[in-house]
Amino acid sequence: MFKVISAAKSWDGEIDLLIMGKNTADVAQNAAKIKDLSSIIRLDGNHLEHLLAEDAAKIVEMLSDSYQVILAAHSWFSRNFLPRVAAILNVSLITDVLKIENNNVYTRSIYAGNVHAKIHSKDPIQLLTIHTSLFDACAKDGGGAKVIKKDSPAPMNLTSWKSEKINKSDRPALIDAKIVISGGRSLGSEENFDKVLSPLVDEVGAALGATRAAVDAGYAPNEIQVGQTGVVVAPELYMAVGVSGANQHVYGMKDSRVVVAINNDPDATIFQFADYGLVADLFDAIPEINKLIKE
């Protein structure tokens, strides 16, 4: 959110924050402290507790008259409903924006990150999702936005929410972790994946990631997949363990500050993207690293 607000500062003009949900008063009060915001627009409703795309799109459509730019972080949340908003408003949505230039010129990546496209939008409303890891966060306090409560439109009742399952873990979330350690298919089994990587992951307080190949092989759950078809991360340190370096995986980690690759194949593609490469058997190297850290 803080990074999206700082992205919004690319345009002149006031910035408002929209909050939708059930009992949003406290959240809105807290958000009012964020610097650079003019107003917090909050909409409450029992049916907004588990926000559905149809209802979220209706609300943004209702508010869209007053705005020239609408942005959100590129997440499953925004990807679900903002395209619906775009179609209703008859404008394009530009997803996963890497760079914002003057006069509504944007850079985004296409073809699994192998190509960057620079595009210009002449839409009357600019609708964007932001690749947050490339933007700085705005100041979290020092502001004094006014909170405006608006009536929410009636429920659309097109879909109904049944249940949700949030994957709980004591480890940091992949997306926020300072260190990410990812395993590839070389781990060989679900058991090894856990046995070899978990001690080091927990020792250094990292998040655990996996390649698509490891997920497809059943070694790791899909929630921890790093890549074009999974999560995109940009930690301080990314350790790729037994990872070959497929396009679609590199797409998900190439913005990391420091990349370490450990692989017994000296020709593995991943070494082309690593700041530090260690050609070694991961089954020896990972326990050794863990042991050295403990010492």
**Of 94-153, which residues contact other proteins (CB under 8 A)?**
94-96, 105, 108-123
User: How far is the C-alpha of 12 from the C-alpha of 69, rounded, in Å?
Assistant: 11
Regarding 170 and contact with other proteins (CB under 8 A), the answer is no
Shortest CB 217 distance to other proteins, Å: 13
Nearer to other proteins, 17 or 285 (CB): 285
For residue 41, give both structure tokens.
Answer: 């627009």
Shortest CB 266 distance to other proteins, Å: 8
The one among 46, 161, 191, 281 contacting other proteins by CB under 8 A: 161
The number of residues that bind other proteins (CB under 8 A) is: 83
Nearer to other proteins, 38 or 121 (CB): 121
Question: CA torsion angle for 109, 110, 111, 114 (degrees, to 10)?
Answer: -30
Nearer to other proteins, 125 or 147 (CB): 125
Is the Cβ–Cβ distance between 193 and 219 less than 8 Å? Answer: yes
User: How far is the C-alpha of 70 from the C-alpha of 15, rounded, in Å?
Assistant: 10
Is the Cβ–Cβ distance between 206 and 181 less than 8 Å? Answer: yes
Phi-psi region of 138 (alpha: psi -120 to 50; beta: other; left: phi over 0): beta
User: How far is the C-alpha of 197 from the C-alpha of 241, rounded, in Å?
Assistant: 9
Residue 20 C-beta-side C-alpha neighbours within 13 Å: 22
The one among 12, 26, 65, 292 contacting other proteins by CB under 8 A: 292
Q: Quick one: which segment of 19-27, 145-153, 164-172, 189-197 binds other proteins (CB under 8 A)?
A: 164-172
**Of 41-70, which residues contact other proteins (CB under 8 A)?**
50, 52-54, 57
**Of 173-212, which residues contact other proteins (CB under 8 A)?**
173, 179, 204
Regarding 34 and contact with other proteins (CB under 8 A), the answer is no
The one among 27, 87, 137, 139 contacting other proteins by CB under 8 A: 87
The one among 2, 11, 67, 77 contacting other proteins by CB under 8 A: 77
Segment (H or E) for 7: helix 2-8
Three-class SS state of 108: strand
Nearer to other proteins, 198 or 222 (CB): 222
Nearer to other proteins, 139 or 173 (CB): 173
DSSP 189-200: SHHHHHHHHHHH
**Of 230-249, which residues contact other proteins (CB under 8 A)?**
236-237, 247-248
